[in-house]
Amino acid sequence: MSAIRQHLIDPEVCIRCNTCEENCPIDGAITHNEDNYVVNVELCNYCMNCVAPCPTGAIDHWRMVSTPYSLEEQFEWDELPDETEVATTESGLANASHEALEDEANEILDVAHQGQQGKVLPPFSAAHPFINIYTRENPAIATVAGNYRITSEDSESDIHHIVLDFGTTAFPVLEGQSIGVIPPGKDARGKAHNVRLYSVASPRDGERPNHNNLSLTVKRVVFEEDGVVKKGVGSNYVCDLKKGDQVQVTGAFGSTFLMPNHPEANIMMICTGTGSAPFRAMTERRRRKRQPGDKGKMMLFFGARTKGDLPYFGPLNKLPDSLIRKELCFSREADQPKEYVQDRILKCADDVAAWLKDDQTFIYLCGLKGMELGVEEAFAKTCRDHGLDWPALRNKMRESGRYHVETY
């Protein structure tokens, strides 16, 4: 029997954020149950699209095996099995042949890791991010300093702004990174709850400047299943936190969806709902750091059903136009035509095209998965109408760390 290099996901490190499954181009190659995310050895073609976007590195594990681990085995894992010596034939192939198999597998992976398949680089001027300093086994402990609802009281969208204080515990984060929150207790099967991932909504020097704290933007999830109303475990835990409560935190996560530091950078941000969190962080960072004569501009396309559903609506409107251009779009506002972010991009096509032609432009999408296709189509049409090739431009921007997408 021959040996293969099998792609596996470490269940101890994985935070179940679904990034790998979303980025996999092969339907069914990555799948999940209530416990684990797993790789189907029969479908995986080592394209590596899933590796770079993974915020924790859980996806990047490989084992030489003579008999591949089945999906059923992987679904039951609490940790990866120990490394085992592979017998490559029933009679025991020579060590040299086994080493040759290992070398061949490593060479394939080295080439794949070096390629740009699915990999987006961070902006060249982004600060160095710290990753995975705190884990489930060794979390940081934060104290809730504030919890505020930031959508209108009559809105069905209950979104909260939560401030976490880390006291004397160092917890460095950058704009665009995320943290993990560990909900207390266990699920119906007696297992500890999975870590929930949330984008940081404050700049690197804190929600309050030079204080060791950060903020999150979290929407309470309530849904109906089989006629029964259910509440999302993580979101309801976070939205119900009281001042003084202590929270277990992991991370930070994310090494590419980062803010450019150079003041010449033009930052175009496109979001819905809680996808605004990283953009609040970037905008506040730019506001605090900008100097007279800085050339970089900011433009925000922000979509919601109504003004009451749009988080930070009041504070956002108070930001000066000299800092950020605000394009707010509403799909259910009374006495207004339905409009989505892609519609507003097309209305602003001349200005958007000018930004796309500028090598100092960095584009970020964050929010619901459903907006991604519409935004892509809007960029494609804008480019066609202005003599640009969107697929080629998008690839060039990705390769230079200037086009970033985080949707869910």
As beta bridge partners, residue 143 has 165, 246
Distance CA 37, CA 31 (A): 6
Sorted by sequence, the CB contacts under 8 Å of residue 40 that are 6+ apart come out as 28, 29, 30, 31, 71
Distance CA 365, CA 279 (A): 10
Sorted by sequence, the CB contacts under 8 Å of residue 188 that are 6+ apart come out as none
* Known catalytic membership, residue 198: yes
**CA distances (Å), origin 71, targets 16, 41, 56, 161:** 16, 8, 22, 39
Given the residues 199, 215, 235, 276, select the one marked as catalytic. 199
* Known catalytic membership, residue 85: no
Distance CA 195, CA 302 (A): 28
CB of 248 within 8 A of CB of 150? no
Distance CA 88, CA 237 (A): 50
Distance CA 195, CA 156 (A): 26
Given the residues 255, 366, 383, 403, select the one marked as catalytic. 366
Given the residues 37, 134, 198, 237, select the one marked as catalytic. 198
Structure tokens given for 8: 């596996």
* Known catalytic membership, residue 408: yes
Instruction: Return the active site residues.
Output: 198-199, 366, 406, 408
